[in-house]
């Protein structure tokens, strides 16, 4: 598969429209959002890390593995 990197200014209406259009085709276009700049002493979490931590908290609270529900 050939890939290209594209930078889109999403501060403009046209840029937001282009982004929404690309998100409609997940098999063809994969949108990767950059992580925000982390502040000193703080860690920026990815969506997958946040999801796993939430599942761990819920599993511990309800005493069942919520990933298997």
pLDDT at position 51, please?
A: 94
pTM score over 0.85 = no
Biggest distance spanned by C-alpha atoms of the chain:
48
pLDDT at position 33, please?
A: 82
pLDDT at position 25, please?
A: 93
C-alpha angle 53/41/47, rounded to 5°?
30
pLDDT at position 50, please?
A: 93
pLDDT at position 35, please?
A: 67
Query: Which residue stretches of the chain have pLDDT < 50?
Result: none
């Amino acid at each position: 598969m050939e890939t290209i990197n594209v930078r889109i200014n999403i501060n403009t209406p046209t840029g937001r429209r282009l982004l929404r259009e690309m998100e409609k085709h997940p098999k063809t276009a994969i949108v990767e959002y950059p992580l925000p700049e982390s502040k000193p002493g703080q860690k920026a979490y990815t969506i997958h890390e946040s999801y796993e931590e939430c599942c761990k908290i819920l599993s511990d609270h309800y005493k069942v593995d919520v990933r298997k529900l």
